[in-house]
Amino acid sequence: MIERYTLPQMGRVFSDAHKYELWCQVETLVLEAHAADGTVPAEVVEPVRDAPPPTAERVAEIEAVTQHDVIAFLTAWADNTEPREAAAWVHFGMTSSDLLDTALAAQLVEATDILLDKADTLVAALRDHALEHRATLRVGRTHGIHGEPDVWGHRVADFAFGLARSRDRLRRAREAVGVMAVSGPVGTYSNIDPSVESYVAERMGLRTADVSTQVVLRDGISEWVSCLAITATVCEAIALEVRHGQRTEVRELWEPFGKGQKGSSAMPHKKNPILSERICGMARNVRAQVVPVMEGIPLWHERDISHSSTERISLPDAAIATDYLLHLTTRLVSGLVVDTDRMRANLDSTHGLIYSSTVVSELIDTGASREDVYALVQAAAMRTWEAGTSFRETLREEAAQRGVALDEERLDEVCRPERFVRHLDGLFDRLAKLS
């Protein structure tokens, strides 16, 4: 992921420097376990543990010759070990995937914890914003067309619960990726005792794979990336709502617009929904990683490395982009400007057409057939659409022509926007408990 969209904490998790720190940690723990079992000399552990991780530049220099990243790492680390002879016992009984998959599991758990913290923050921001606007009337839209009265808090509550579910999926996926293996070539423990694997897993806070065939099956990692994609797409849903709400014709919502900010190089009046558009674009990048990672599940026999090159790109990009999306969406929600007056004006802009379904129900209660009532109300509605006259007036005229009596006082009672949201208190009570 390019630096523009990489936040420092997550960027550190996927840096080469941190990767080599984790590789050193794994190799040292394996060496400690061997020494405890008497498999390797105990005196080699401390020099290896004290050796600083190699630099990314030195590993790259060696890899240019060896064309093997793990061998390059081991060689560069051995150069940092005093006495160098102690490094001869490093990687004893292991195969490359033991190191790579175990360190990757630790890396993905670290990344997940960062994402979970940011998801908690966004859930809280959405919850608080929805509760603040539990009585802010607006028109509900279907197909982009005015439907019936609603409140803005209702719409945001949907996002809050959706993001909370995404966070909970990610919590479960944390367990799915926290899986390691130190089982040797083709995963049969032929050169390494299973107790070594258990020792490493316990100290790194990971779980041993149910089965390792030299590599850990990629179903858990695929689940994790899929959870990131869902989370990113919920962020996109929030951003898309803001984009629609900020259109000139709507003008109900506004992104935060800072002092000195510019909307257009050519048109000084512009205040564009750039945060929301960026969120929508970045979500595509996260979703794009799902299929490449999932295709790492089927490998040739006990192991190949067709998954390796994909994961070097897809896993950091998915995590870094999701981290940025959660950060950006929290910023969007926390600074969102809601024009309550404009919401009410838009609600009233169709001259009462949004009460058509209520009118249908009320007239059916008088004993008329649904077909006749629907025809009457639709005819009145179409006249209002065309002429811009009051729906109540066109309704009276149509009813008079058809000999249908209207109870004006009853219609006044049921055609109030507050009536349409009277049953949402339970929703907001549940929302207030969301954490």
Beta strands in 220-271 (DSSP E): 253-254
| Residue 194 CB neighbours (<10 A) | 12
Lookup result for tokens 């929301």: 276
Out of 143, 269, 301, 423, which one is annotated catalytic?
Answer: 143
Angle at 183 between CA 179 and CA 185, to 5 degrees: 125
Q: Which of 424, 422, 417, 418 is nearest to 353 (CA)?
A: 417
Bridge partner list, 338: 253
How many H-runs (helices) and E-runs (strands) does the chain carry?
Answer: 18, 6
Q: How far apart are CA 263 and CA 329, in angstroms?
A: 19
Out of 195, 264, 349, 357, which one is annotated catalytic?
Answer: 264
Q: Which of 30, 179, 213 is nearest to 102 (CA)?
A: 179
Q: Is 34 a catalytic residue?
A: no
And the tokens for 114? 């960062």
Which residues are CB-contacts of 368 (< 8 A; sequence separation ≥ 6)? 404
Whether residue 159 contacts residue 238, with contact meaning beta carbons closer than 8 Å, is answered with yes
- What is the amino acid identity at position 278? R
Q: Is 349 a catalytic residue?
A: no
- The burial class, CB within 10 Å (0-12 / 13-18 / 19+), for 234 is buried
What angle, 0 to 180 degrees and rounded to 10, lies between the N-to-C axes of helices 16-37 and 194-204? 130
And the tokens for 2? 């390019």
Which residues are part of the catalytic machinery?
Answer: 143, 264
